[in-house]
Amino acid sequence: MLVRMHTTTQAARVAGLTGWAQLPGKPDKNGACSGEDTKPGRLVDAGGGFETQRAAVESVSVLFELFDGIAVDYLDSGVVGEPLPSGWMVTAAKFEVECPTDRTRCSLVNSHFGGRRFAYNWGLARVKADIDARKHDPAHESVAWNLAALRKAWNVEKGAIAPWWEANSKETYSSGLDDLVTALGNWSASKKGLRKGRTVGFPRFRSRSRDSGRVRFTTGTMRLEPDRRGITLPVLGTLRSKENTRRVQRHTASGRARILNMTMSEQWGRLFVSVNYALRTPETASTPAQPTTRAGVDVGIRMHKNALGDGTVVHRRTLATVVVRDLVTSEETVTEYTAPAALHAVLGGIRRANRELSRRIPGSRGYLAAKTKLTRSSRRAVNVRQESVHQLTSWLTATYGEIVVEDLDLASMKKGMGRRAFRRSVSDAGLGAIRPQLAYKANRTGAVVTVADRWFPSSQLHRGHALPDGTYCRLVGKGRIDKHLTCPSTGEVVDRDHNAGGNLCDWPDQASAVQLEPRPRTSALPPAVAGTSAQPSRKAKLGRTRKTTPQGKAASSEVRTERRSPTQGTAARNPARGAA
């Protein structure tokens, strides 16, 4: 068994405490790691006695990895083997704290935020000066773009350029330099084509108006007080939390959790503290409430108008359509998960607050009151959106054994939408947060999350109606996002979202019914599907991305349809949430 530590220094300490052998670092050109010139690496050979020395390893750091390989294979070919559970997982919690009332502590908080920006701007100026110097003198020695080199240069010059540096924690300046290293790394990777997504530009200097205040602490006094209301940070002291910290404090008090770092940030004129900690995984593995079920999740925005008996019309928005099939009884259930339009609900108030703010004198009481009203509406929209997505993902991972979700290209979806209101509705729903949350929550509950292929047309293939050649008929409609589609061969009217959820539920059992063609990385057009036209429409040429995921035929004995709303309560959808 091999143990990989976070740094080579930690690996050396583990080898000294346990008597294990510290293995060499990077392999040579032939893939071997037994060269005489190879420096010690982060791997330690634990043999078969890791559990007997677990306490010694955890006394150095809990951020380690385990592999089932042996030292001989690693020295010969550089293979570490398959990863094993280390017994720890990294998670985080965020708490809002009260702003200090006395001027001294309030100024100290602002000094930490300003010190981080000052260190960031100093490091950026140093990097730009080195770049300009190397243009005139190629032999000029520049500071390396890593945290260790920049911190060393900062410690040499801080006495002259920042004589007030002792008033703040040293982590203040380290946090700013670390952010600069990250920004430089993103720019370099984007320039070389190694980073996905949009092109990242060269870092710019940060001002107080453009940069949100935050500072990260990795060393020093960091703890949650036993009263479950206090959060202690280096230099700043104890800040009172506006909510109970029991969900983290009970683990740290019992030794099941270790705080890795804390980040204090300012948002909407309020202070927040994020606690990043490592939590020991439970010995007994948890299982979903329905382990023999598979859920196909069709994510998308769908507006509905329901007419009540008194003549009033109620607008309802569907965030996801979930088709669940029991793998034992083949019984199916269709659930439409509704979510509130968070931004749409407060958009009128935001517009009025913006008009009121524009008529006030900056710095006056009226200006502060109007700005408070504006931030209150924005804060509510963000919180409602996050809560609806958290409730959906918690319900799915706590209930179903296997979850199949589609891989959407949201950027292309918004590009293909003509009206600004359509693009805003997609952003307002928070669709991009669903798949990452399913991934990390499934590790806690034992559910299996499968991501279907992006180019599979789950909404267009008629589920369960195969043609003689083995392909499936394509559904047609008047518009591109019609709620109901028609099968040209049978004339059946099919609900678009229910059909897509069913095809996702069948993935990947019958995915071979449609041959998925590899697409270029820069292409936004889906491949041709059996039974479809090879010529894309004008909207598709402009970059519109179709929803895609596999499909198949399901033999269901019974289908039930129900609707779920975030207002129904969290405990009914996620029983594990109330148990914490």
Q: 405 by DSSP, 3-state: which?
A: strand
> Which one is catalytic: 211, 406, 409, 428?
406
Whole-angstrom distance, CA of residue 488 vs CA of residue 498? 18
CA 306/CA 411 separation, integer angstroms: 31
Told to judge if 73 belongs to the known catalytic residues of this protein, a careful annotator would answer no
Distance separating alpha carbons of residues 224 and 231, to the nearest angstrom = 5
User: Catalytic residue among 171, 178, 179, 298, which?
Assistant: 298
Question: Counting Cβ atoms within 10 Å, is residue 194 exposed (0-12), middle (13-18) or buried (19+)?
Answer: exposed
CA distance 368 to 360: 9
How far apart CA 431 and CA 335 sit, in angstroms, is: 17
Contacts of residue 523, defined as CB under 8 A and 6 or more positions apart, other chains included, come to: none
Catalytic pick among 171, 211, 497, 506: 497
Q: Write the CB contacts of 67 (distance below 8 Å, at least 6 apart in sequence).
A: 1, 2, 3, 4, 80, 81, 82, 83, 84
Any catalytic annotation for residue 243?
A: no
Residue 432 and residue 38: Cα distance in Å, rounded?
A: 44
What is d(CA 501, CA 321) in angstroms, rounded to the nearest whole number? 6
Task: Read off the tokens for 107.
Answer: 């100024």
- Taking Cα atoms as reference points, which of 495, 306, 299 lies closest to residue 388? 299
Q: How far is CA 379 from CA 70, 126, 422, in A?
A: 52, 37, 22
CA dist., res. 173 & res. 164, Å (int): 12
List the beta strands (DSSP E) in 204-289: 214-217, 223-224, 230-233, 237-240, 257-267, 270-280
Taking alpha carbons only, the member of 547, 539, 459, 527 closest to residue 495 is 459
**C-beta of residue 394 within 8 angstroms of C-beta of residue 366:** no
At residue 457, the 3 state secondary structure works out as coil
Helix (H) or strand (E) holding 15, with range, is helix 8-18
Residue 406 appears among annotated catalytic residues? yes
Which residues participate in catalysis according to the annotation?
Answer: 298, 406, 497
